[in-house]
Chain A
Amino acid sequence: MIFGELGYYSLIFSILFSILLFFFIYQDYFIKNNNINIKIYSFCFLQFFTIILSFFSLVFSFLLSDFSLASVFENSHSSKPMFYKFSGTWGNHEGSLLLWIAVLSSFLFLFLLNSKKDPKKYRLLTIFFQNILILGFLIFIIKTSNPFEKLIPIPKEGLGLNPILQDPALAIHPPILYIGYVGSSIIFSSSLASMIVNFVSKIWAESIKIWVLISWIFLTLGIMLGSIWAYYELGWGGFWFWDPVENVSLMPWLALTALLHSVIILAKRNIFQSWTVILSIITFALSMNGTFLVRSGILNSIHTFANDPKRGIFILSFLIFLSLLSLIIFFIYQPQKKGNIFFNFSSKEMGIAINNWFMIFFLSAVLIGTIYPILLEVINGKKISVGPPYYNFILTPFLIPFLIIMTISVKMDWIRSSINEKKKELLFLLIFALFFVLMISYFFEEINITVLLIFFSSIFLIFSLFKDFFDFFRNKKKINIAQIISHFGFGLLIFSIAVCSTFSKEIDINLKVGESIKLYNYELKFKDLSMKEDKNFKSIIGNFNLVEANGKIFYFNPELRIYDQPLIMTSEANIKTNFFKDKYIVMNNVSGSDYYNIRFQEKPFMIWIWIASLLIAAGGFLSIILKRN
């Protein structure tokens, strides 16, 4: 059909426009004026337009189930709900790569429109570097993973989308995550450009702060959606597994969080110039590295794309090329220090330096844990797994000082702050938090010391920010509300995760219809089974009653779904959420018997993990809005 051709040829045209753009940038670079040639605007627009056109052609091919395209045939089916046909566009390697490119070029276009105040040469070079990225990915998609590849003869029906991917959270997860990933590309390009034209300054920091914030917000939300999906869909009640694919999205987040802080300090105080540039480069390199690791199939993970070593080599070479390019540019044009700037030990500057120090530590642990198995296998052929116990061991103890320092440094002022004023307040909060933790340890004896300290430090942070928040409403004290919300969210996140993992209860049992069993203070009755048929699956629904000691009954209906295209069985958990805890039941059939395997979990504070992540992102969002006004 027509959309296949349209999409393919628009891609070809966009390559042409990219090449032409290089030429015009070169031409315009040496003309001394303040305005960018209108040709560059128009070709940027054309490039943006053709890529978006190509992307929507693919979307329409999916919506119309055009099975003459290999990517549609392999990942869609005519009986699938419209929403999942739509999201199926990026549920596969080829389509998601096209989405990636679409985001790359939209960011370039937005940058072009929003940077009119900045120097011309800086803008041109940013476009230049961003175009290298776009062209590289365009060649990659055409050479190794063309989403518009034709099939002859045209199949009658598609193979369908893996049912565990048919989930609302996962449907919107990739676009949001990609805005986060790819947002870092413009930071990367502009930091290279600003080094060359010697523009690494307060003004530069102010102008890229918005891009840092946008990618950070979207990355935060993207990671959150991924976790929500894992929690609801994977059927074992966890939301974070330290799986390599999850780590790969966490690493740019950690780098971006560090960058967010160092950009603030650069904008305010004009220090940390080289460091900010290094973080910008690292952030994008990590995003690219993530793409490489996920798509090349080099990892062993729950969620891998279908893979092909040719793709791996291409992205790897491109990544190495970009890393070397930025290394060379950095060492030639390294930002020069201008003058000396001083600050006191107890100041915001110091707080941010410590934040970056810890962030890099967290990052290095996640990075080495993710790539070490690959390195080791190359060196001596040994296969090892690096999983949750490793990360918990390395990261958890460091969260304690991290949170405490965070609490104190949020209260600090720039350059210097008089501690005495704040000492009393902090002392009071400290005692309050201590009291709280002592209560916890009194009621629950089995908690180990690290966890108690995590409780203590996160409560310290939460209380301290709560107090600031309260002061804000009472005395209208001038505070940075966005910062407080994000930091509060972080404290709450760590606290909820600690509560959830310490106090969660879980049990596996085998039950037959009609049986009942006592679990903790509950009684679980397996009433009966019912059947349901939906558009693309049949389901067996278990009806369970969970009776509390006081007689209150919860009705649970976990499902076993049998999808027909492709034929896969999945189990859908049934979760009852309230503000204190989630109750979670999932059932699985036991082969060759009438028994069903029931997994019951009670997870306190689960909902607060999601709320906390939302708060973290909301803080970033608020800071954009407040800045605009």
Chain B
Amino acid sequence: MIKKIQFGILFLIIISLFYFFSEGLKIDKIFSPQKNIGQKLSNFSAPSIFNNEIMITQDSLKNKKFYMINIWASWCAPCREEHPYLMQLSEENLLKIVGINYKDKKNYAITFLKKFGNPYSEIGSDKNGAISIDLGARGIPESILLDDQKNIVAQFIGPLKKNDYKKIIKIIKNK
């Protein structure tokens, strides 16, 4: 009898390992980080790229229903790719976009904006990357969409694409 119970237990363990492993195989292993949707934005403060005296913080996000924080740099090629969508978003004037200029040189950043346009209402400078960690970012470009309570509504890792643009517009229009 004891033998049969032992057998049964081991049998069940083997079968359940099969189940777990085969389910585990189905899980997408392509890097998909946890997104912080629903969480409140953490406090941050970054000196303005134009004037070191002025600090850009979570309190800079006011007077609008929606905000977006966009992390970018002049040296990052995908940032150029997404720039037209940022420009479009800012022209539609539905939300306020705050830029975080990531590990960049001031004059390169300004040249970049002169060339491609400036969609940002304010730009903070992140000299050593620590602010991007404060914001919970993984790399650049990355965009975080926030509502008026500064809750994270959506997070876009990598350059904004046409679909992402449509999604942003949809979220804002539905509210």
Tell me, yes or no, whether A and B come into direct contact in the complex with CB atoms closer than 8 A.
yes
Q: Contacts of B25 on A, CB cut-off 8 Å? A: 296-298, 309, 312-313, 316
The answer to whether A374 has its CB under 8 Å from any CB of chain B is yes
Interface residues of B in 1-29 (CB under 8 A from A): 3, 6-7, 10-11, 14-15, 17-18, 20-27, 29
Contact: B24 with A374, CB < 8 Å? yes
The answer to whether B43 has its CB under 8 Å from any CB of chain A is no
Task: Give min CB distance, A190 to chain B, whole Å.
Answer: 21
Known: A316-B18, A320-B14. A378 touches B7 (CB 8 A): no
Contact: A316 with B22, CB < 8 Å? yes
Task: Give min CB distance, A613 to chain B, whole Å.
Answer: 31
> Which residue of chain A is the closest to B17 with respect to CB atoms?
A320
Q: Contacts of A298 on B, CB cut-off 8 Å? A: 21, 24-25, 29
Contact: A378 with B20, CB < 8 Å? yes
> Which residue of chain B is the closest to A377 with respect to CB atoms?
B27
The answer to whether B174 has its CB under 8 Å from any CB of chain A is no
What 0/1 pattern do residues 67 to 83 of B give for CB contact below 8 A with A? Answer: 00000000100000000
Known: A297-B29, A327-B7. A378 touches B14 (CB 8 A): no
Known: A320-B17, A323-B14, A324-B11. A313 touches B27 (CB 8 A): no
B interface SS class: helix
Task: Give min CB distance, B90 to chain A, whole Å.
Answer: 28
The answer to whether B51 has its CB under 8 Å from any CB of chain A is no
Task: Give min CB distance, B35 to chain A, whole Å.
Answer: 12
The answer to whether B163 has its CB under 8 Å from any CB of chain A is no
C-alpha spacing A374/B10, complex, angstroms = 20
What 0/1 pattern do residues 105 to 146 of B give for CB contact below 8 A with A? Answer: 000000000000000000000000000000000000000000
Contact: A292 with B29, CB < 8 Å? no
What 0/1 pattern do residues 367 to 392 of A give for CB contact below 8 A with B? Answer: 00000001101100001000000000
Q: Contacts of A307 on B, CB cut-off 8 Å? A: 29
> Which residue of chain A is the closest to B33 with respect to CB atoms?
A383
- Among the listed A300, A383, A592, which residue makes an inter-chain contact with B75, where contact means beta carbons less than 8 Å apart? A592
What 0/1 pattern do residues 94 to 112 of B give for CB contact below 8 A with A? Answer: 0000000001000000000
Interface size on A, residues (CB 8 A): 23
The answer to whether A393 has its CB under 8 Å from any CB of chain B is no
C-alpha spacing A266/B149, complex, angstroms = 71
C-alpha spacing A487/B169, complex, angstroms = 69
Number of A-B contacts (CB under 8 A): 50
Q: Contacts of B18 on A, CB cut-off 8 Å? A: 316-317, 320
C-alpha spacing A497/B86, complex, angstroms = 54
Task: Give min CB distance, A625 to chain B, whole Å.
Answer: 39
The answer to whether A443 has its CB under 8 Å from any CB of chain B is no
C-alpha spacing A262/B169, complex, angstroms = 69
The answer to whether A473 has its CB under 8 Å from any CB of chain B is no
Task: Give min CB distance, A31 to chain B, whole Å.
Answer: 33
The answer to whether B63 has its CB under 8 Å from any CB of chain A is no
Q: Contacts of A316 on B, CB cut-off 8 Å? A: 18, 21-22, 25
Q: Contacts of B27 on A, CB cut-off 8 Å? A: 377-378
Q: Contacts of A327 on B, CB cut-off 8 Å? A: 7, 10-11, 14
Contact: A292 with B21, CB < 8 Å? yes
The answer to whether A331 has its CB under 8 Å from any CB of chain B is yes
C-alpha spacing A168/B14, complex, angstroms = 39
Q: Contacts of A377 on B, CB cut-off 8 Å? A: 24, 27
Known: A309-B26, A327-B7. A374 touches B14 (CB 8 A): no
Q: Contacts of B24 on A, CB cut-off 8 Å? A: 298, 374-375, 377-378
Q: Contacts of B20 on A, CB cut-off 8 Å? A: 374-375, 378
C-alpha spacing A324/B11, complex, angstroms = 7
Interface residues of A in 303-332 (CB under 8 A from B): 307, 309, 312-313, 316-317, 320, 323-324, 327, 331
C-alpha spacing A378/B7, complex, angstroms = 25
Task: Give min CB distance, A224 to chain B, whole Å.
Answer: 29
> Which residue of chain B is the closest to A311 with respect to CB atoms?
B25
Q: Contacts of A313 on B, CB cut-off 8 Å? A: 22, 25
> Which residue of chain A is the closest to B3 with respect to CB atoms?
A331
> Which residue of chain B is the closest to A307 with respect to CB atoms?
B29
C-alpha spacing A309/B29, complex, angstroms = 11
Contact: B29 with A378, CB < 8 Å? no
Contact: B29 with A300, CB < 8 Å? yes
Contact: B29 with A383, CB < 8 Å? no
Instruction: Write 22 A-B pairs (CB below 8 A) sorted by A numbering.
Output: A296-B25, A298-B24, A298-B29, A307-B29, A309-B25, A312-B21, A312-B25, A316-B21, A316-B25, A317-B18, A320-B17, A320-B18, A324-B11, A327-B7, A327-B10, A327-B14, A331-B6, A374-B20, A375-B24, A377-B27, A378-B23, A383-B34
Apart from A298-B29, A334-B3, list 5 A-B contacts with CB within 8 A: A292-B21, A309-B26, A317-B18, A324-B14, A378-B24
**3 closest A-B pairs by CB:** A374-B24, A378-B23, A320-B18
- A binding-site residues for B, Cβ under 8 Å: 292, 296-298, 300, 307, 309, 312-313, 316-317, 320, 323-324, 327, 331, 334, 374-375, 377-378, 383, 592
